[in-house]
Amino acid sequence: EPKQSVSVLLMPVDIELSALTAGGVKEVRADWTEAAIKHVSKTLRRQLEKHDDKLLDYVEPQDPADLQEHNQIIKLHELVGSTMMVHSLVPATMPPTIKDSFQWSLGEEVSSLREASGAEYGLFIFIRDSYATAGRKALIVTSALFGVGIGGGSQIGFATLVDLRNGSIVWFNRILKQTGDLRTEDAAYSAVKELIEDIPL
């Protein structure tokens, strides 16, 4: 686990907000997503301000190849984090041969983030929110009258602290809710607080 003197790179928050239509289709809303990125990034700083002396903001590299490599690392985090989330929710999905010994990692490619920033650890955050449209809400109510349960949106997210020397994931936490809203600062604060409350910094 990181010690008091370590430096942590705050990676760009990976967030997407969608409207859940009556037909159950998620339509990404760019305006909501943009607002959520702003709220979560701001509240992340507020939550971690006591560690402010060791937080480094991610700076996008000028070199296109470096930028592509960093974006691939962010996408890999989504894949690995999603797998970790499934295993944490349904332990039976973890192969028994590696249940006790398996170490989660993003691979040694993350060292490029260390070289670019000088940070020892990287903090990655992934959140997906969906909200029921008026049509979807009407369908939920109608279905409930006939005893059928239909989902009305959800909030799924996870955060990881990654050792940028070797890619090892040293800490992981998740949120999974039927309700949640990142479109306002107060709601974003609550979600981020829950997500990083036990981060070992």
Residue 168: band (very low, low, confident or very high) from pLDDT cuts 50, 70, 90 = very high
| 0.85 exceeded by pTM | no
Q: What is the pLDDT of residues 49-104, one digit of tens each?
A: 877 778 898 999 999 999 999 999 999 998 898 888 877 776 665 555 555 555 78
Residue 2: band (very low, low, confident or very high) from pLDDT cuts 50, 70, 90 = low
pLDDT of residue 192: 87
Q: What is the pLDDT of residues 104-143, one digit of tens each?
A: 899 999 999 999 999 999 999 998 887 665 555 555 555 5
pLDDT of residue 5: 63
Q: Is the pLDDT of residue 29 over 70?
A: yes
pLDDT of residue 48: 85
Q: Which residue has the higher pLDDT, 25 or 172?
A: 172
Q: What is the pLDDT of residues 171-187, one digit of tens each?
A: 999 887 766 667 788 88
The token duo for 187 is 């709601």
pLDDT of residue 74: 92
Helix, strand, coil shares of the chain, percent, nearest 5, are 45, 25, 30
The token duo for 29 is 């809303």
pLDDT of residue 131: 66
